[in-house]
Amino acid sequence: MLRRLRSTAPTLPAAWGIPFIGILLSIAVFPLVAATLWHPHFGKIAALWAIAFLVPFAFAFGIGTAASVLVRALLEEYVPFIVLLASLYTVAGGGNLHGSARPCC
């Protein structure tokens, strides 16, 4: 399954990057321009961009390949990132900072 993807990966057209650019622009622009839409629905908007990539990907390379790429992304990238965030949050949770905010000069 992934062999077919790896063999064609260098020849993928730039249009495959549109969903990635779309989610980056959504994260950057929506909170500034449409905050009332973005804040309650950011998960749904991100899911729509993911679907905008996965559906054409499934048609082009097969449902099995798309599912394996999705599972691989979740297990090898998303879960470790969430574990890292949780561990950093836990470690930083016990720190107390004391001092005063005075100008240095």
Q: Does 5 have pLDDT greater than 60?
A: no
What gap in Å lies between CA 33 and CA 93, rounded to an integer? Answer: 33
Number of domains in the chain: 1
pLDDT in tens, 24-50: 999 999 999 999 999 999 999 999 999
- For residue 98, being part of any structural domain is answered with no
Q: How many CA atoms lie within 13 A of 66 on its CB side?
A: 14
What gap in Å lies between CA 8 and CA 87, rounded to an integer? Answer: 38
- For residue 61, being part of any structural domain is answered with yes
Higher per-residue confidence, 16 vs 28:
28
Element (H or E) spanning 13, and its range? Answer: none
Q: Tokens at residue 97, please? A: 């900072």
CB 36 within 8 A of CB 13: no
What gap in Å lies between CA 26 and CA 47, rounded to an integer? Answer: 12
* Residues spanned by the domain of 33: 2-7+15-91
What gap in Å lies between CA 71 and CA 57, rounded to an integer? Answer: 14
Q: What pLDDT score does 30 carry?
A: 93
- For residue 97, being part of any structural domain is answered with no
Q: In sequence order, what DSSP letters do the residues of 33-50 get, joined into one string?
A: H-HHHHHHHHHHHHHHHH
- For residue 100, being part of any structural domain is answered with no
- For residue 105, being part of any structural domain is answered with no
- For residue 101, being part of any structural domain is answered with no
